[in-house]
Amino acid sequence: MDEITEDFPSYLARITRLLVTRLVIAEGNEVTLLAQINMTARLIHQLERHLRLLIVAETDHPAEALLDEVLNPENPRERSLTWKEVGDALGVSPQAAHRKYAPKAEKNDS
């Protein structure tokens, strides 16, 4: 495999564009802006499902540690999981999950 010579965000953006285009073509659709938007939305949905599965799957790390990593992004508004989903994954109420994992800035906004 070739060495990546560009920064990771640029690399990820480039391969995402290529993947979306290839998926649109694989479904037999014309590569239009609307087709790319629809495929991107579908891809996001599948990535979020995969993320949820990773959180609740048995791993070397406890689920709570994984949740803490996922729920504390640099920008809390970018978090894609709901507090109900987090609570369900931990077996607690959405309120309990929010109290434990909500970043301090988000708690102060409430």
Residue holding tokens 């495999």?
A: 1
In the chain, the number of structural domains is 2
Task: Give the CB-side neighbour count of residue 20, counting CA atoms within 13 A.
Answer: 19
Quick one: 69 and 109 in the same domain? yes
**Tokens at residue 28, please?**
């037999």
Quick one: 5 and 48 in the same domain? yes
Range of the domain at 44: 1-57
Quick one: 42 and 93 in the same domain? no
Quick one: 80 and 43 in the same domain? no
Quick one: 2 and 52 in the same domain? yes
| pLDDT tens-place string over residues 9-27 | 898 899 999 999 999 999 9
Predicted TM-score (pTM) of the model is: 0.49
Quick one: 49 and 98 in the same domain? no
Domain boundary among 37, 57, 77: 57
Domain boundary among 12, 34, 57: 57
Quick one: 52 and 1 in the same domain? yes
| pLDDT tens-place string over residues 64-87 | 655 655 665 555 556 667 788 778
**Tokens at residue 38, please?**
């629809």
| pLDDT tens-place string over residues 95-109 | 988 887 776 545 555
